[in-house]
Chain A
């Protein structure tokens, strides 16, 4: 058991999806036309290429997201031990979040999170 069944499971998983794709490759009659390559097969024809340049302002969203993403990392270990430590941990995370909330307020005030 153990390792053998794990390998068997892996082989079965690969074979299961692989055989399904292979059978559909063999049995399907494939046709190609220009409409199949469009983003929406029915509806209004698209205008221009889909690779347009985005506004540079949206980069801020990514940057701010990254900072709160890192903040999240510190909340994980806190959440595991908060019950054990009680009020001390609670006050500490409140200070932590308060300082970062100031940053959020600053971003909001500077209209960095405004959709443009």
Chain B
């Protein structure tokens, strides 16, 4: 008899895998993005299962709320967002299957090689701890990296405006 935690782990994992398979096999690209959304929500569920709530919140805010929105935007920017994609041919199917098997074997060998063992002491992952380290100006604090992150984000913002504003067309589009 499996423990309840294990049962939940397998349910969540099956959900993630199912959504991932659907995302790559569906022929409508918008549905593919929605399945990706489901898969990422499943990963957030896995983080909740691991009781790392902050990481789960980050996963939902950044990946589900940000990256998928970005992907959906870029789908809407293409002309063929509503049409079905053409069927893939046999050689492409075979090679993608081989790539999947190679990736699977690589992850298996890595897990086997390092044999991740459960730690003995409980892992303190309180958000307040993250906050204390992040704002600590002392020797083992991360106040300077924290401020550097804002510079990084500023650079990203300016960069995306400079690059993307060039391609903004004139008012002819709807």
Contacts and interface: CB of A to CB of B under 8 A. Distances in A.
Interface in B134-174: 134-135, 137, 143, 146-147, 149-151, 153-154, 156-158, 160-161, 164-165, 167-169, 171, 173-174
Interface in A84-99: 84-85, 88-89, 92, 95-97, 99
A9 interface: no
Contacts of B130: 77
* Chain A interface SS verdict (over half): helix
A73 B61 contact: yes
A51 interface: yes
A60 B82 contact: no
A96 B128 contact: no
A56 interface: yes
A97 B46 CA distance: 32
Given A64-B157, A70-B66, A77-B54, A59 B150 contact: no
Contacts of A106: 157-158, 161
A82 B168 CA distance: 41
A103 B66 contact: no
* Chain B interface SS verdict (over half): helix
Give the contact-size bracket for chain B: 35 or more
Contacts of A107: 157, 161
Given A64-B157, A81-B135, A103-B157, A69 B66 contact: yes
A56 B168 contact: yes
B91 to A, nearest CB: 30
B132 interface: yes
Contacts of B82: 49-51
Interface of B: 4, 54, 57-58, 61-62, 65-67, 69-70, 73-74, 76-79, 81-83, 127-128, 130-132, 134-135, 137, 143, 146-147, 149-151, 153-154, 156-158, 160-161, 164-165, 167-169, 171, 173-174
6 contacts: A53-B78, A54-B73, A56-B173, A76-B127, A77-B130, A92-B143
